[in-house]
Amino acid sequence: MVRVSRARTAVLAVAVVLTAGVLASCADSPGEGVTAAPHAGDAACGKLADRYPDRLGGQELTFSDRPGVAVWGDSAIVLRCGVELPVPTLDPCATVDGVDWVSREDRSKDGGKVVVTYGRDPAVEAVVSDEVVAVDDVLVALSALVEPVKTYTKCVGMGDVPPPP
């Protein structure tokens, strides 16, 4: 039988508790569970990362350690650069300071909003939680961020359809 002193047992118990606490805090940290988009390695995504604002929608930048990913607050705003390009859609599209954003109603839940740039390559997705009150201000700031990304098309609406002859 191996005897272990009480002091060693106490040290081991403290180490186990501390390790569990660190692991638990990491599981709830900003950016946890957010995966990089398929095209996050695109050079344009790298250029965006150099320009992430320190604050967005009243939230501080808390995570940007994964390619193409930025998180503000406790995941209040999550940006992923390099998502798949959206195909033409009937989903609502808004132009904010020259940048088209398609609202992904099917993925927007619990008062939050999911938007994806339309007509820019690479595409950028933003998930804005319901705790962010000024979603419009967030889109203005994000539009300034992604504006340099190459444009290849734009959203069209009923106003773009010529009247019948």
**Coil, helix or strand at residue 103:** strand
* 137 assigned to some structural domain: yes
* 14 assigned to some structural domain: no
Which residues have C-beta within 8 Å of that of residue 160, sequence separation ≥ 6?
none
* 62 assigned to some structural domain: yes
Question: How many structural domains are present in the chain?
Answer: 1
Owning domain of residue 53: 43-157
Q: Which DSSP string corresponds to 39-102? A: TTTSHHHHHHHTT--SEETTEEEEE--STTEEEETTTTEEEEEEEPPPPS-SS-EEEETTEEEE
* 58 assigned to some structural domain: yes
* 67 assigned to some structural domain: yes
* 1 assigned to some structural domain: no
Query: Which 8-state DSSP code applies to residue 119?
Result: S
Average pLDDT taken over every residue of the chain: 82
Q: What is the tens place of the pLDDT at every residue in 65-87?
A: 999 999 999 999 999 999 999 99
Question: Would you say the pTM of this structure is higher than 0.85?
Answer: no
**How far, in Å, CA of 35 to CA of 13, rounded?**
34
Is the per-residue pLDDT at 148 higher than 70?
Answer: yes
Provide mean pLDDT across the span 121-140.
94
* 164 assigned to some structural domain: no
CB 80 within 8 A of CB 123: no
Q: What is the pLDDT of residue 1?
A: 42
Is the per-residue pLDDT at 97 higher than 80?
Answer: yes
Q: What is the pLDDT of residue 159?
A: 73
Q: What is the tens place of the pLDDT at every residue in 25-70?
A: 334 677 788 999 999 999 999 999 999 999 999 999 999 999 999 9
Q: What is the pLDDT of residue 161?
A: 72
* 61 assigned to some structural domain: yes
